[in-house]
Amino acid sequence: MSPNKKEQHWQRVFQLQTESGLTKSEFCKHNQITVSSFYAWAKKLSVQPPQKLNQQKVIPLVFPETISDQQLTLSLPNGYQFSFPASLEPSKLQQFLSVLSA
What 3-state class would DSSP assign to 74? strand
Pair (57, 40) in one structural domain: no
Q: What is the pLDDT of residue 89?
A: 84
Q: For residue 66, what are the domain limits? A: 53-102
Pair (22, 62) in one structural domain: no
One-letter identity of residue 29: K
Q: What is the pLDDT of residue 51?
A: 60
Pair (98, 57) in one structural domain: yes
Single pTM value for the model: 0.44
**101 contact partners, CB below 8 Å, separation of at least 6:** 54, 56, 58
Pair (101, 59) in one structural domain: yes
Q: What is the pLDDT of residue 50?
A: 60
Helix (H) / strand (E) containing 82:
strand 81-85
Pair (35, 62) in one structural domain: no
Pair (12, 36) in one structural domain: yes
Overall number of domains in the chain: 2
User: What pLDDT tens digit does each residue of the chain (102 aa) get?
Assistant: 787 888 889 889 989 998 998 999 999 999 999 999 999 988 888 755 566 666 667 777 776 665 667 888 888 777 878 888 878 888 888 888 788 776
Pair (38, 59) in one structural domain: no
